[in-house]
Structure 1
Amino acid sequence: MGSMTGLRLHTVTTDDGARLAAYVREPATESTTSKPRTIVLAHGWLLSHRSWLPVVDLLPDDVRVVLWDQRGHGDSTLAHGGRKVGDESVRRLGHDLQTVIDQLLPADSRFVLGGHSMGGMTVLAYAGVAPEQVATRVERVLLVSTAAGGLRGTGRPGEEAFMRTLRHVPLRLGRSMTLKGQRKTAFGKQPRDEDVRAATAIVRGTRANVFAAYYQALMAHDEVASLAALRDLAVEVIVGSRDKLTPPVLARRLGEELPDAHVTVLPDKGHMLLWEAPEVLAQELQR
């Protein structure tokens, strides 16, 4: 699942009282001639900061890395320090990202942004929330298995009604999320068993009400207008050819809105590129 070596825990408190568990890996050695590169990474729906660890473990130790558990995920609370879901939205996650940056990064320092799945959507929401900060401080952006909008459910009868009911169930998903289901839905061709187990373990720790609330948030997600804040930046969009959750057509739409962005489709890979292609992502973050 990746090592925890070198990550220091911080608590970031948002303006509505959510307590975000954040983790910073400081550079192993300090340069006397230049500031260390800083990389800020946002994780996806039902996951936690741990999903980025296979990539972080491949980054050189002279890089500062900032991770956090999105509200309601991992060890982070929802508003007012609680576990009760409210009017959750991707735009709110963009505000959270701005708070993480403001509280944990040196003032006026520049950084690289990366986001996977809902984390990529968080990056887009942040661009809409703080376009001036993006213009002056963000060096480049990596968007992995994500979309600016246009997400759809499975189309199963009663899905939306089921999610409304599930909002009131604060229990962890547990073994309702099976290895077989995760392998089929989230991964591409012939994933490693240990990767499927690692991802499933994180998903099982997420609460059912958070699952439902952010399903609704993702269905309502639309940050196409926020892409304007990224048009002058180097943006890399990466997606797996077998991604069932955010398929390549959504990545290509990002490329259409960001003409200078580079879109890469990885053959036979699925949605969980943090496990399926960590070397590709680590290399891109170091450009």
Structure 2
Amino acid sequence: MTALQVKNVTTDDGARLAVYVREPSADPSGTVVLGHGWILDHRSWLPVVDRLDPSLRVVLWDQRGHGRSTLAGGGHKVGDESIKRLGRDLSAVIGATVPDGEKVVLGGHSMGGMTIMAYAGVAPDEFAERVRGVALVSTAAGGLRGTGRAGEAGLMAALRHVPFRLGRAMTEKGQRRTAFGKGARPEDVRDATRIVRGTRASVLGGFYGALMKHDEIASLPALRSVPVRILVGTRDLLTPHKLGDRLAQELPDAELTKFDGLGHMLTWEASDDVATAITTLAR
């Protein structure tokens, strides 16, 4: 089990972000900063963190409104949430946890990958100064269309005003069908479902709108100056692998890896491969 130190970072709009740091067991070889996806929290990265080189310092955080982090003003009322706001949050996390002058490797799963793209867009000069490599896992620069279920957009808009946690409305069967691919381990599905159940319905609804509006194609040129790994599952129903193809087209020097039959949750389904990609970028 990974031992993490916990601290809080307050953003310029008053959100309190819970940040978790794994200190290296030997002389540090670098720092990795990892962002999680929609309605998850930092724990979704732990299967990967456990497999990273122990000489790496690892920084994780709960995205605003997720896990132990608040929304703007320190509360839990959903406002005008956006992926660009998450990019500014990432800047705050790096500024509070990484010494000036040190370059980091960024890893982002799903909405966490979108956060990295937004960071490159809102702070391109800082991105160039602070980032040495990027791993984009099960993510997209735009073009999201939801699941296509009838009434989905209306339901999500209504959930913005529901403060309760999702709880048992989110089932293991539903997570396995929607988020995982073939051969998912029951314990992985169980862990993911446990995290999702702890998320507020208002966050599910509020960030759905942000994801549907997400378009960071214009930010991608900033990523062309660093090594990039793109990892996607061919059975990803949330960020279909064709969107990974589009990322690779926009980032022609990036290395694209597709995992046949795997789904959206590659931090569980392909944790060894994701850890290897990040460790390679950090060398």
2:125 to 106, 126, 132: 132
Partner residue of 1:74 out of 67, 72, 96: 67
Q: Which of the numbers 21, 24, 37 marks the counterpart of 1:24?
A: 21
Q: Distance in 2 between matches of 1:197 and 1:21?
A: 23
Query: Does structure 1 conserve the Cα–Cα contact (< 8 Å) formed by 2:147 and 2:237?
Result: no
Q: How does 1:228-239 map to 2 (within 5 A)?
A: 228-239=221-232
Does residue 243 (structure 1) correspond to residue 240 (structure 2)? The answer is: no
Where structure 1 has 5 or more consecutive residues not aligned to the other structure, the ranges are none
Q: Aligned residue for 1:176? A: 169
> May I ask how many residue pairs the two structures share in their alignment?
280
SS at 1:284's partner residue? helix
SS at match of 1:286: helix
What is the TM-score with the length of structure 1 in the denominator?
A: 0.96
Q: Which amino acid aligns with 2:4?
A: L
Among candidates 78, 83, 86, match of residue 90 of structure 1: 83
CA distance in 2 between counterparts of 1:188 and 1:153 reads 18
> Which residue pairs with 1:6 in the alignment?
3
1:204 paired with 2:201, answer: no
Residue identity opposite 1:6 in structure 2: A
TM-score (ref. length: structure 2):
0.97
Which deviations, in whole Å up to 9, do the C-alpha atoms of 1:163-201 show, x marking residues without a partner? 111111010001111110000000000100000000000
- Matched with 1:150 is 143
Q: 1:42 aligns with which of 32, 35, 47?
A: 35
Q: Which digits, 9 at most, give the CA deviation of each residue in 1:244-271, with x for residues without a partner?
A: 1111100000011111111111111100
CA distance in 1, matches of 2:224, 2:167: 41
Could you tell me which amino acid in structure 1 is paired with residue 47 of structure 2? P
Aligned counterpart in structure 2 of residue 192 of structure 1, from 180, 185, 189: 185
Once the two structures are aligned, what percentage of the paired residues are identical?
63
Please tell me whether the aligned partners of residues 146 and 238 of structure 2 are also in contact (alpha carbons under 8 angstroms): no
Moved more, 55-64 or 193-202: 55-64
Any runs of at least 4 consecutive aligned residues in structure 1 with deviations exceeding 6 A, and if so which?
A: none
